[in-house]
Copies of this chain bind each other. A is one copy, B any other.
Amino acid sequence: MTLSCGSSATLEAVSAAEPQLNKWYQLFVYQNREVTLDMARRAQAAGYSALVLTVDFPAIGLRYHNIKNNYHPSGEDQANYWPYGTDTAIANNATWADITWLKSQVRIPLVIKGILTAEDARLAVDSGADAILVSNHGGRQLDDAPATLEALPEIVAEVGRECEVYLDGGVRSGTDVFKALALGARAVFVGRPVCWGLVHSGSEGVKSVLEILYTELDNIMTITGCSTVASITPSHVRCVDDYTQALHAFNEK
């Protein structure tokens, strides 16, 4: 589980509640880098096994649907920020050097979240990233951002031999999980489905959502003949254009 820095319980409280769970902590580069550093060290001290640094948020996207719905989330209940008062603005001047710097300050692995191109994946890895999380921020930052599943292959091709690559965004079924794994993701993350389960029936709902995804993935693996996750390969998926090319090859015979 990755805990958002915007959680209403402190990262320490969450860790204390589930000390055995494999937990990662998500944070930003803040305008005040000391806030970044303090949060990272708190997470490390509290037993989180990785930091997930979100890099696609130099400014919040223009979310017209929020304006239309008169939705204005308050930051007041973001407990992790309480120690820092109002000095918690997310940096709009972060550079790749911030990754190198943060990496040098912590012992736990640093995952860079919000990468959508091979070029940026290369820069992140060369700056010290231990892993890449291909993400378009749930499609909420930029209306015309690419689908993460489309961006995944070129990123895996670029850095997949050097580090693990993950994906989030649009994962709604076990079939989606399967496709991402087939195209080189080491794991996928889900956000909204978990919220839907929570709204439906609390923690039981969250558990159900995860079980559904697991059951669906298990089913498609059985039907496609993949007995292990490692045996899911690019040859298990096709893009429509492949069939057009196969048809051309067929006709030319």
The 6 closest A-B pairs by CB, nearest first: A153-B250, A150-B243, A59-B222, A154-B246, A234-B251, A241-B244
- Interface flags for A146-189 (1: CB within 8 Å of B; 0: not) read 10001101101100000000000000000100010001100000
Bound state CA distance, A59 and B225, in angstroms? 10
For residue A179, which residues in chain B have a CB less than 8 angstroms away from its CB? 144
| A-to-B contact residues, CB < 8 Å | 56-59, 61-62, 92, 117, 119, 141-144, 146, 150-151, 153-154, 156-157, 175, 179, 183-184, 215-216, 219-220, 222-225, 234-235, 238-244, 246-251, 253
For residue A234, which residues in chain B have a CB less than 8 angstroms away from its CB? 250-251
| Residue with the highest number of chain B CB atoms closer than 10 Å, among A143, A219, A223, A248 | A223
Bound state CA distance, A241 and B239, in angstroms? 11
For residue A57, which residues in chain B have a CB less than 8 angstroms away from its CB? 223
Taking a contact as CB atoms closer than 8 A, the residue among B142, B153, B216, B225 that contacts A247 in the complex is B153
Beta-carbon contact of A142 and B220 below 8 Å: yes
For residue A235, which residues in chain B have a CB less than 8 angstroms away from its CB? 117, 119, 251
Show 15 residue pairs from A and B whose CB-CB distance is below 8 angstroms, ordered by the A residue: A58-B222, A58-B225, A59-B219, A61-B223, A62-B215, A92-B222, A119-B235, A150-B243, A153-B243, A153-B246, A153-B250, A157-B249, A183-B250, A235-B251, A239-B247
Bound state CA distance, A250 and B151, in angstroms? 11
Beta-carbon contact of A154 and B250 below 8 Å: yes
A211 to chain B, nearest CB (A): 12
Bound state CA distance, A85 and B143, in angstroms? 51
